[in-house]
Amino acid sequence: MKEDTKAGNSTNRQQTRELPVAGTERPKIAETLDAHRGEHHVIVLQDFPDPDAISSAYAHKLISAKFDIDVDIIYTGRISHQQNIALVRLLGIELTHFDEDLDLSGYNGSIFVDGQGTTSEEIVQALAAAGAPPLIIVDHHEKQDRLEPEFSDIRRTGAAATIYTEYLMQGLLELNKSRREHSLAATALIHGIMTDTNGFIQAGPEDFQAVAFLSQYRDADVLTQIVTQSRSKQVMEIIRQALGGRIIVESFSIAGIGYVRSEDRDAIPQAADFLLTEENVHTAIVYGILTGDDQRELLIGSLRTSKLTLDPDGFLKEVFGKDELDHYFGGGKMLAGGFGIPVGFLSGGNVEDYRDLKWQVYDQQVKQKIFAKIGIEPD
């Protein structure tokens, strides 16, 4: 599920800019960190954090320590993708899962990396109630209007990890390969850039420059361990369901996969990636109803496209619209996007016939909206 973003011109390509030579200028984020020395901050990750978010948060934590700022990292959802689990374990980084009983009163401010708060609304509201205002946003998605931090760095780069690498190159933290945490940070940032640019296929010059810098400090063995994680049986089964249930219209491959356990959530974008590899398909959309132990349900989906003239952000916003708080249900970036719609009152219920009927309604509604967007009359 991706961030709420403003629709952009679908013909716009990523803006490119050269990264600075290491140590040539002090990044502006340093002024904000200087002003908050000695404080206790919390980094908020997007719902179901990915390698870009995790690696950027790890880098921010190391940088903050140079300013005597203690940092914790919290998230909602689950970390379920095999590579993400491996990344967290190898980094040895502590991530705290948010729930309504978590005490946030000890934080002086909040930091948002690889997101702008729209997929972590529950945390945003809890932080506001606890008196921990947003201080910093570092993100590479389209600009949003959800938060008003003291400092924001929002650019169209391949990954938030690219932005944090620029901070490192500007001397905000001097990397030393002999220090384990520095080597792990460089390795994680490379992985974050790699995954968010589709294996560097959508990478721009600034992303390649960032990786070239980080490669001096990376641990190749650790990176190999992360990227060679095998797909689980559950992921393979969901990919099989998507492949068997897909319909293809106008080079769109659309697959509803029914109910999905929250721990298998990351299988949905993996299934979309797989469907995109089929001949004569330029866009894949996979969706299902996410179920959790608390009986709350969420209709979620992922979009992947190879069509440069299709803007996932604008496409998903137009298809699924907004909620009562004027927040979009979907959004994205270049060539990828996602959406999440609360099932609400109809959530729960273990009677099989009822669950089947509920899925049929949501499945048909999603298809109808997509068909209307691409100009197809349903059969």
Give me the pLDDT at residue 11, please. 34
Task: Pick the range with the lowest mean pLDDT from 107-121, 182-196, 218-232.
Answer: 218-232
Single residue among 162, 194, 227 that ends a domain in this structure: 227
Q: Which of 216, 241, 225, 184 is nearest to 59 (CA)?
A: 184
Residue 2 has pLDDT above 60, yes or no: no
In a shared domain, residues 193 and 297: no
* 56 domain residue, yes or no: yes
Residue 314 has pLDDT above 50, yes or no: yes
Give me the pLDDT at residue 116, please. 87
pLDDT digits (tens, 9 = 90+) for 130-167: 999 999 999 988 777 788 899 999 998 999 999 999 99
Residue 1 has pLDDT above 70, yes or no: no
How far apart are alpha carbons 330 and 312 in whole angstroms?
A: 9
Give me the pLDDT at residue 3, please. 39
pLDDT digits (tens, 9 = 90+) for 286-311: 999 998 766 689 999 999 999 988 98
Single residue among 183, 205, 227 that ends a domain in this structure: 227
Pairing of strands 252-261, 283-291: parallel
pLDDT band at 7 (very low <50, low <70, confident <90, very high): very low
> Count of CB atoms within 10 A of residue 14's CB?
19
Most confidently modeled range among 114-128, 161-175, 225-239, 308-322: 161-175
Give me the pLDDT at residue 31, please. 95
In a shared domain, residues 50 and 196: yes
Domain that holds residue 155: 29-227
- Single pTM value for the model: 0.70
Q: How far is CA 94 from CA 41, 180, 223, 224, 242, in A?
A: 14, 16, 19, 22, 34
* 340 domain residue, yes or no: yes
Kindly report the CATH number assigned to the domain that includes residue 342: 3.10.310.30
In a shared domain, residues 256 and 183: no
Kindly report the CATH number assigned to the domain that includes residue 169: 3.90.1640.10
Mean pLDDT in residue range 79-89? 80
Give me the pLDDT at residue 218, please. 93
Task: Pick the range with the lowest mean pLDDT from 82-86, 307-311, 317-321.
Answer: 82-86
Task: State the DSSP string of 243-284.
Answer: HHH-EEETTEEEEEEEEEEGGGTTHHHHHHHHHTTSTT--EE
Mean pLDDT in residue range 29-39? 96
Task: Pick the range with the lowest mean pLDDT from 67-81, 203-217, 230-244, 330-344.
Answer: 330-344
In a shared domain, residues 360 and 335: yes
* 7 domain residue, yes or no: no
In a shared domain, residues 51 and 179: yes
Give me the pLDDT at residue 366, please. 95
How far apart are alpha carbons 12 and 14 in whole angstroms?
A: 7
In a shared domain, residues 294 and 205: no
In a shared domain, residues 319 and 345: yes
Quote the DSSP letter at residue 331.
E
Give me the pLDDT at residue 118, please. 78
> Count of CB atoms within 10 A of residue 160's CB?
33
The token duo for 157 is 């780069």
How far apart are alpha carbons 341 and 69 in whole angstroms?
A: 36
Q: How far is CA 221 from CA 69, 295, 316, 342, in A?
A: 31, 41, 39, 41
In a shared domain, residues 36 and 82: yes
